[in-house]
Amino acid sequence: MTDKLIIPAQFNIAQHFLERPAADHPERVAILGEPAPMGYGELLTLADRVAAALLRDEIAPGERVLLVLPDSAEFIAAFFGVAKIGAIAVPVNPMTREGDYAHYTKDSGARLAIVHEIALAAFLPAVLELRDISIVVVGTSAQVPSSGKYWHDWLPSTSERVAARATRPTDPAFFLYTSGSGGRPKGAVHMHKDMLATSHGFARGVMGIRPDDITYSVSKLFFAYGLGNGMYFPLSAGAATVLDPERPKPERTAGLLAKYRPTIFFAVPTFYAALLREVENGLTAGFSSVRLAVSAGERLPPEIFERFKARFGLEILDAIGSTEMLHMFLSSQPGRMRAGSCGFAVPGYEAKIVDDDGSPTPQGEIGNLWVKGESAFSGYWNIPELTARTKIGEWVITGDKFYRDSDGYYHYCGRADDMMKVSGMWVSPTEVENALLGHPQVAEAAVVGVIEPSGLTRPLAFVVIPPDVSPNVELAEDLRQFVRAKLPGYKCPAEVKFLDALPKTATGKIQRFRLRGGPEKSS
């Protein structure tokens, strides 16, 4: 049984998650890799140097600082350095496209961006029109813009402690961007207390995290799921984390498992499936050190649960959370796992399934999932009308369809809208359709999420081409690569099918439900 969550009247996440463990055990390793280990004391010193640089640059409380960084000590130090002075950290994907960076920068109103050199080529064109943003570049291989500085030059040489600002638990601490039904990334504003709530409820209450644990998350820190897994969960317990700045691949994961022997492993169902495929094809991957394997980000197919258990002797703890709730609100529990279910409400959270009028649905009937808990976001940045539609008092409308069985287990049934969740990330059909429509040989396009026999979701594109163009395999592949050049890889259609016409209503709206039924190819 987890103790009741106590939220102090004054609370700053940098004090709780970094200063506190560093004071207790400064020499203990906080980051095992990659590329090099770092102790709690050293990590706190780096965060203090970031805080000092921000204060020197007159970054004020409440101002936003964009973090375009891979998983690294620099990410963690920058995140907590920003929070320490009362400013707002805005971490975003360091492997995305120019258009996304332009939106993040303009929408957040950030006056400073800390950017890794791997993202610089895509980031700089996105901010050409912005004259009031400074750039700090992590790395030495890329050319620093005229308005920027190298990280090592920007940081002061002093290692003196910087006092954390006396923030309230309800003061904003960070944004996490998420995509909604319209496909535009929205900034979910989180408060200092939110990390305290999720680490108390899920990390401690469900996982039972300990100081001797080593966490390893395939999901990255800029993602709400990964931010807890790889950063503040282990720090909350004085544990260690394995950070990997590279794109996740089964071969690399197998190597990191062998090298660091983590005790808690986090991934999304898509990655579990890919890892299993490689293992079944001869890849050696050991989970002997892992006491808990966690899955979230999308529905975990029962087949993957059973195959993983048969191969490694571990039951995957399936859970569900959201950017708006920061981390998990429903989760399986060790000793009470059931394939195909995400278990029960996390300690400190409540959930209910209601109909479209907000009335409770009968047991076993599919309805809309509403949740509440102390980690709920305060609102969407500069979108009050959407906040009002998403939050009803203390309740957050998740947009997910669920039912609850006779034993009290919650079961995920899909989204209430047409959004797809691929590799744990939301994908808007219209965004992919717009990319396809930029191709000269596409007249019309529609994209839907289809569930493969494995149980995982993939984007499937249906296109209509001009009469003088012949549908063939080469054109289908050309369209896929065309989209891949415009959007992140997980948004690229897994397959392109050609139709003579898209099914539509009398008013011209595409009937996506008919496409999900799998119409025959026209050629």
For 393-419, how does the pLDDT look when each residue is reduced to its tens digit (9 = 90+)?
Answer: 999 999 888 889 999 999 987 667 676
What's the confidence (pLDDT) of residue 520?
39
Q: What domain range includes position 137?
A: 10-167
Which of 120, 137, 167 is the last residue before a domain boundary? 167
pTM for this prediction: 0.83
- pLDDT at 100 > cutoff 60: yes
Q: Which is more confidently placed, 50 or 418? A: 50
| Tokens encoding 284 | 């050696």
The answer to whether residue 336 is domain-embedded is no
The answer to whether residue 198 is domain-embedded is no
Average pLDDT over residues 204-233: 96
Instruction: Return the CATH number at 454.
Output: 3.30.300.30
The answer to whether residue 141 is domain-embedded is yes
- pLDDT at 431 > cutoff 60: yes
Average pLDDT over residues 317-324: 95
Confidence of residue 182 (pLDDT cuts 50, 70, 90): very low
Which of 138, 167, 196 is the last residue before a domain boundary? 167
- Domain count along the chain: 2
Radius of gyration of the chain (CA): 23
Q: 430 and 474 in contact (C-beta within 8 Å)? A: no
Name the nearest CA neighbour of 175 among 91, 104, 112. 91
Which of 141, 167, 193 is the last residue before a domain boundary? 167
β-pair partners for 495: 460
Instruction: Return the CATH number at 28.
Output: 3.40.50.12780
Start-to-end Cα distance in the chain: 60
What's the confidence (pLDDT) of residue 523?
32
What is the rounded average pLDDT for all residues in the chain? 91
β-pair partners for 292: 264
Q: 81 and 14 in contact (C-beta within 8 Å)? A: yes
Q: 118 and 213 in contact (C-beta within 8 Å)? A: no
127-148 pLDDT, tens digit per residue, is: 887 778 999 999 988 888 877 8
Residue 32 CB contacts under 8 Å (≥ 6 apart), including other chains: 214, 240, 241, 242, 243, 260
Helix 473-486 and helix 429-437, axial crossing angle in degrees, nearest 10: 110
What's the confidence (pLDDT) of residue 183?
55
Q: Which amino acid is at 212?
A: D
- pLDDT at 316 > cutoff 70: yes
The answer to whether residue 378 is domain-embedded is no
236-258 pLDDT, tens digit per residue, is: 999 999 999 998 899 999 999 99
The residue whose two tokens read 């720090």 is: 235
- pLDDT at 508 > cutoff 50: no
Longest CA–CA span in the chain (Å) reads 72
- pLDDT at 88 > cutoff 60: yes
Q: Which amino acid is at 93?
A: N
The answer to whether residue 116 is domain-embedded is yes
The answer to whether residue 373 is domain-embedded is no
Q: 91 and 226 in contact (C-beta within 8 Å)? A: no
The answer to whether residue 456 is domain-embedded is yes
The answer to whether residue 43 is domain-embedded is yes
